[in-house]
Amino acid sequence: MPAPGNRVIAAPTAQPDDKSPCCTLTGRLLRPLNYLMNPLKQDASTRTKDDIETIQHLYLDLGHGGSAALEEIKNSDLVPQPNYILNTSPEKFQVVWKGEGVALEEAEALQHAMVNEFGGDPAATDSTRVLRLPGFANT
């Protein structure tokens, strides 16, 4: 059971269609649906570190053995309880904390430190990261 204030979001993993990179779920075509963790500047035309307006989220992308890592996070005194935990597929989670007043370099250093402490994908520590919503195709 998540701690008060945490939201665990689970969605079925859609299976790829043999004929297309899209998926079907309840009869609708689903294309990859991603969300940007930190907003871009209003005039941004690319997604680089210079285009990040503010840091609003810190996150970990937990792969294999994600349940054990998630328990470590929940029982740790090193980090606050996550604001969101997305169950992306069996044993895989996206763990998200809301952030405020965190500089880009500090956010990335914190994310690297969390990967070292709890595991997770070290490639998913950049501030320009987009994460795929659970249940949508990973193409």
Find out whether 52 and 127 touch, Cβ atoms under 8 Å: yes
Percentages (nearest 5) of helix, strand, coil residues in the chain: 20, 25, 55
> Which token pair is 127?
């501030």
Distance CA 131, CA 33 (A): 8
CATH top class, domain 33-40+49-139:
alpha beta
Tokens 């990179």 belong to: 21
- Could you tell me if residue 43 is left (phi over 0), alpha (psi between -120 and 50 degrees) or otherwise beta? alpha
Domain boundaries, the chain: 33-40+49-139
pLDDT digits (tens, 9 = 90+) for 28-77: 444 555 566 777 788 888 888 888 888 888 999 998 789 999 999 999 99
Q: What pTM does this model have?
A: 0.71
> At 134, is the pLDDT very low, low, confident or very high (cuts 50, 70, 90)?
low
Each residue's pLDDT tens digit, 75-92 = 999 999 999 998 888 888
Closest CA to 102 of 36, 61, 53, 48: 53
